[in-house]
Amino acid sequence: MLVGYLGPKGSFTHDVATHSFPTSERIAYRTITDVIKAYENQEIDFAVVPVENSIEGSVHETLDYLFHQGTIQAVAEVVYPIKQQLLVAKKDRLIRTVYSHPQALAQGKAFLRAHYPDVAMEMTASTAYAARYVAEHPDLEIAAIAPLAAASEYSLEVQARDIQEIEDNYTRFWILGAKEPAMSETLSPALQKISLALTLPNNLSGALYKGLSTFAWRGINLTKIESRPLKTALGEYFFIIDLLNEAPDLIQFAYQELDSLGIQTKVLGRYQVYTLKDNGMEKR
Amino acid sequence: MLVGYLGPKGSFTHDVATHSFPTSERIAYRTITDVIKAYENQEIDFAVVPVENSIEGSVHETLDYLFHQGTIQAVAEVVYPIKQQLLVAKKDRLIRTVYSHPQALAQGKAFLRAHYPDVAMEMTASTAYAARYVAEHPDLEIAAIAPLAAASEYSLEVQARDIQEIEDNYTRFWILGAKEPAMSETLSPALQKISLALTLPNNLSGALYKGLSTFAWRGINLTKIESRPLKTALGEYFFIIDLLNEAPDLIQFAYQELDSLGIQTKVLGRYQVYTLKDNGMEKR
């Protein structure tokens, strides 16, 4: 079985793919769109992509592709803790410049200010690229902020551990495919959820209100609602809604009512949520 | 009068600052947070920052800062067309690598595939950084995708004009400050709007529904609704709502009702929307 993921090697998505499918062959792709397209071209059996971070919010490339072009759906979700490490080619050497993704730099800023006040920060396209750059330039006085997986992947040393500012930082990853995967036993099943994309007929105020009514008066719990631009004109949106999949009958009635209101519904995923077993996340 | 903007020079935000305040001194800052902080430290009189793009969606750094930390509000909005140019140090030379921001690369991909099928694409932190890099390395076989303003700023030549894939690409920019600015006459006033951030008491489904009711049954039109993570835990959000400011009395009643429902309201801006006079956008 082949599993594609958003690379490069040493990325958080790589880590999630390894945790979820420890015995499968795993293939890195350069962009989220490339991973999903690889699935559509039947190069892989499952695609692992990030969908939402607790600080940064939704991953637009994933949701927009699934809404606009995709026919593939999420069949499992993994909620994964994001911890950032300060990685170097050789430990305890002078560090003049730190490379990382803008969000990881933001998360590491307080730590760097306290421990490396004179360091310069340079942005890269991903944390794993930063780690690779440091590994490829072992003689420069540089470091990367990147996941622990990147340290082993690129043979880097951990200069400082868990330097992120906000402790409670998690990312939701979706596993896209045709059927529910057999997940590794290192993961615990939690909630069952459904993610929908709603497209409203004109007049946002009234239509969104009516759409939400179909769930509210049936007591169906939403865990998320978000608007995304339709890419037609500024001010035109579609809506992503996550539901707890607790009352399948009621949800079917809600679908029918949305349809009769002229609200289009696309199912982006119907999935079991998993968390890591050994880091106190079972309560989620 | 001093106007701060998200730099570097040659960025779209620079262009908007120049258009809006042609006779003021303008100062570039490195990040959106730096621009807003400069205002808070009374270094500048107005701050110009991007807030939403019609393809990419909201600019989280702007909205999150204003919600979580800011006391500053939007006092004007400029809706500005985004057009991308292929810029080179010297025209009609071989191009092996094209540098730009990931979104601009995505927008230019179809053009490059058609006209430069063998070119490599490299990501940079912004379009203006890409332009500056090309200007600083005039002997390399490289190009940048960047705004027209970057060509004059960095003395680059335009190899190909308006190469973006989607024609209808606009960004909303906010002018933050203490009072409504006197805007340049090259801009036309359009709608009046209010942007609010709502924080709900627990139970998302019911509370959001009730919050929207306060606007819906008064016939107050929403032009946008979006959730953003509260950064506390995965699944906790605040909501950004844009209203047409057509019935101030009714909006005051809605505020009171939101308050009595336990929904907290923060005003992010109350502003006149402006468009460019000479590019057919008056109809917006």
B8 Cα distance to chain centroid: 15
**Residue A281 falls within a domain, yes or no?**
no
CATH of residue A50: 3.40.190.10
Question: Does the N-terminal peptide bond of residue A8 adopt cis geometry, omega within 30 degrees of 0?
Answer: yes
Is A168 close to B232, i.e. CB distance below 8 A?
yes
Average pLDDT, whole number, for chain B? 91
**Residue B183 falls within a domain, yes or no?**
no
**Residue B282 falls within a domain, yes or no?**
no
- State whether A45 and A141 are in the same domain: no
- The ipTM value here is 0.73
C-alpha A13/C-alpha A9 separation (Å) is: 9
Q: Tell me how far CA of residue B116 lies from CA of A139, B112, B121, in angstroms.
A: 36, 5, 11
CA distance A207 to chain B (A): 9
**Residue B185 falls within a domain, yes or no?**
no
Q: What are phi and psi of B18, to 5 degrees?
A: -65, -45
- State whether B68 and B207 are in the same domain: no
- State whether A37 and A177 are in the same domain: yes
Is A208 close to B212, i.e. CB distance below 8 A?
yes
- State whether A151 and A47 are in the same domain: no
> What is the count of structural domains for chain A?
3
**Residue B182 falls within a domain, yes or no?**
no
Please tell me the total number of residues recorded for chain A in this structure: 284
**Residue A219 falls within a domain, yes or no?**
yes
Q: How large is the average pLDDT for residues B54-61?
A: 85
Structural domain containing residue A61 = 2-81+169-181
For residue A106, give both structure tokens: 């933001």
C-alpha B183/C-alpha B174 separation (Å) is: 13
Give residue-wise pLDDT tens across range B162-220.
Answer: 999 877 789 999 999 999 999 999 999 999 999 999 999 875 667 888 899 899 889 89
> In this predicted structure, what is the pLDDT of residue A57?
83
Among A128, A150, A181, give the residue marking a domain's end: A181
- State whether B198 and B262 are in the same domain: yes
C-alpha B69/C-alpha B65 separation (Å) is: 5
B215: nearest CB among A60, A102, A205: A205
CATH of residue B255: 3.30.70.260
**Residue B283 falls within a domain, yes or no?**
no
- State whether A131 and A229 are in the same domain: no
- State whether A46 and A173 are in the same domain: yes
Q: What are phi and psi of A209, to 5 degrees?
A: -60, -45
- State whether A229 and A126 are in the same domain: no
Q: Which candidate, A191, A175, A196, A183, places its Cα nearest to that of A240?
A: A196
- Cα angle value B36/B37/B41 (rounded, 5°): 120
pLDDT at B97 exceeding the cut of 90: yes
**Residue B284 falls within a domain, yes or no?**
no
Residues of chain A with pLDDT under 50: 280-284
- State whether B43 and B173 are in the same domain: yes
CA distance B156 to chain A (A): 24
- State whether B39 and B93 are in the same domain: no
- State whether A18 and A77 are in the same domain: yes
- State whether A149 and A108 are in the same domain: yes
Helix axes A204-216, B204-216, angle to 10 degrees: 150
Among A113, A147, A181, give the residue marking a domain's end: A181
Collect all residues of chain A within an 8 Å Cβ-Cβ radius of residue B229.
Answer: 52-57
Please tell me the total number of residues recorded for chain B in this structure: 284
**SS3 call for B72:** coil
CA distance A206 to chain B (A): 6
The secondary structure of A97-118 as a DSSP string is: EEEE-HHHHHHHHHHHHHH-TT
Among B127, B152, B177, give the residue marking a domain's end: B177
| Sheet with B97-100, edge to edge strand ranges | B120-123, B97-100, B142-146, B85-88, B157-160
Q: Which candidate, B242, B244, B214, B240, places its Cα nearest to that of B227?
A: B240
Say what percent of chain B tops pLDDT 70: 96
